[in-house]
Protein backbone atom coordinates (compact mmCIF):
# COMPACT_ATOMS: atom_id res chain seq x y z
CA UNK A 1 0.00 0.00 0.00
CA UNK A 2 1.34 3.40 -0.98
CA UNK A 3 0.92 6.25 1.51
CA UNK A 4 1.82 9.71 0.27
CA UNK A 5 1.34 13.28 1.38
CA UNK A 6 1.08 14.33 -2.25
CA UNK A 7 -2.11 14.60 -4.31
CA UNK A 8 -1.20 11.57 -6.42
CA UNK A 9 1.37 8.88 -7.08
CA UNK A 10 4.08 9.77 -9.57
CA UNK A 11 3.82 7.76 -12.77
CA UNK A 12 0.39 6.38 -11.90
CA UNK A 13 -3.05 7.78 -12.60
CA UNK A 14 -5.88 7.80 -10.11
CA UNK A 15 -8.78 5.90 -11.63
CA UNK A 16 -11.17 6.10 -8.69
CA UNK A 17 -11.48 8.03 -5.46
CA UNK A 18 -12.94 5.61 -2.93
CA UNK A 19 -13.39 7.43 0.37
CA UNK A 20 -11.73 9.40 3.13
CA UNK A 21 -9.88 7.17 5.60
CA UNK A 22 -8.97 8.23 9.12
CA UNK A 23 -7.30 6.85 12.22
CA UNK A 24 -6.52 8.05 15.72
CA UNK A 25 -4.17 7.02 18.50
CA UNK A 26 -4.61 8.36 22.00
CA UNK A 27 -1.61 7.65 24.18
CA UNK A 28 -1.20 8.27 27.90
CA UNK A 29 2.20 9.65 28.91
CA UNK A 30 3.56 8.27 32.17
CA UNK A 31 4.53 10.64 34.98
CA UNK A 32 8.14 9.38 34.92
CA UNK A 33 8.45 10.70 31.37
CA UNK A 34 7.15 14.06 32.58
CA UNK A 35 9.81 14.20 35.30
CA UNK A 36 12.54 13.37 32.78
CA UNK A 37 11.19 16.00 30.40
CA UNK A 38 11.46 18.69 33.09
CA UNK A 39 15.17 17.87 33.37
CA UNK A 40 15.57 17.99 29.60
CA UNK A 41 13.76 21.34 29.46
CA UNK A 42 16.05 22.79 32.13
CA UNK A 43 19.28 21.29 30.78
CA UNK A 44 18.35 21.38 27.12
CA UNK A 45 18.22 18.37 24.87
CA UNK A 46 15.75 15.86 23.55
CA UNK A 47 13.05 14.08 25.50
CA UNK A 48 13.44 10.53 24.25
CA UNK A 49 10.47 9.18 26.24
CA UNK A 50 8.08 11.50 24.45
CA UNK A 51 9.81 10.91 21.11
CA UNK A 52 9.29 7.16 21.49
CA UNK A 53 5.58 7.65 22.21
CA UNK A 54 5.18 9.92 19.17
CA UNK A 55 6.96 7.42 16.91
CA UNK A 56 4.80 4.56 18.17
CA UNK A 57 1.60 6.57 17.70
CA UNK A 58 2.57 7.52 14.13
CA UNK A 59 3.30 3.88 13.27
CA UNK A 60 -0.10 2.92 14.73
CA UNK A 61 -2.12 5.52 12.80
CA UNK A 62 -0.35 4.72 9.53
CA UNK A 63 -1.08 1.03 10.03
CA UNK A 64 -4.75 1.78 10.70
CA UNK A 65 -4.93 3.97 7.55
CA UNK A 66 -3.58 1.06 5.52
CA UNK A 67 -6.14 -1.31 7.07
CA UNK A 68 -9.02 1.06 6.33
CA UNK A 69 -7.85 1.58 2.74
CA UNK A 70 -7.39 -2.16 2.16
CA UNK A 71 -10.97 -2.77 3.31
CA UNK A 72 -12.08 -0.42 0.53
CA UNK A 73 -9.89 -2.19 -2.05
CA UNK A 74 -7.57 0.79 -2.46
CA UNK A 75 -4.12 0.76 -4.02
CA UNK A 76 -2.95 3.90 -2.24
CA UNK A 77 -3.82 6.65 0.21
CA UNK A 78 -3.05 10.13 -1.06
CA UNK A 79 -3.01 13.54 0.64
CA UNK A 80 -2.10 11.92 3.97
CA UNK A 81 -2.04 14.35 6.88
CA UNK A 82 -0.81 13.47 10.37
CA UNK A 83 -1.60 15.84 13.23
CA UNK A 84 -0.33 15.69 16.82
CA UNK A 85 -1.89 17.28 19.88
CA UNK A 86 -0.77 17.14 23.49
CA UNK A 87 -3.15 17.79 26.38
CA UNK A 88 -1.93 17.31 29.95
CA UNK A 89 -0.61 13.72 29.95
CA UNK A 90 -2.39 12.68 26.76
CA UNK A 91 -0.90 12.51 23.27
CA UNK A 92 -3.42 12.48 20.43
CA UNK A 93 -2.25 11.57 16.95
CA UNK A 94 -4.72 11.75 14.06
CA UNK A 95 -4.22 10.78 10.43
CA UNK A 96 -6.38 11.13 7.36
CA UNK A 97 -6.11 10.69 3.62
CA UNK A 98 -8.04 9.68 0.54
CA UNK A 99 -8.14 6.02 -0.47
CA UNK A 100 -7.76 5.63 -4.23
CA UNK A 101 -7.51 3.06 -7.00
CA UNK A 102 -4.54 3.48 -9.34
CA UNK A 103 -4.29 2.77 -13.06
Across residues 58-72, what is the average pLDDT?
97
pLDDT at residue 80, rounded to an integer: 98
Q: Which DSSP string corresponds to 44-57?
A: -S--HHHHHHHHHH
Share of the chain above pLDDT 90, in %: 66
pLDDT at residue 30, rounded to an integer: 63
pLDDT at residue 79, rounded to an integer: 98
Domains contained in the chain, number: 1
- Residue 38's Cβ-count burial label (10 Å; 0-12, 13-18, 19+) is exposed
Quick one: pLDDT band at residue 38, thresholds 50, 70, 90?
Answer: low
Mean pLDDT of the chain: 87
Q: Which residue has the higher pLDDT, 48 or 43?
A: 48
Kindly report the CATH number assigned to the domain that includes residue 44: 3.30.110.70
Amino acid sequence: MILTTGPGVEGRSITEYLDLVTSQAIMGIRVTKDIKSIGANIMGGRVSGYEDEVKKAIVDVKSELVEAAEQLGADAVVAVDIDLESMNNILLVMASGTAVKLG
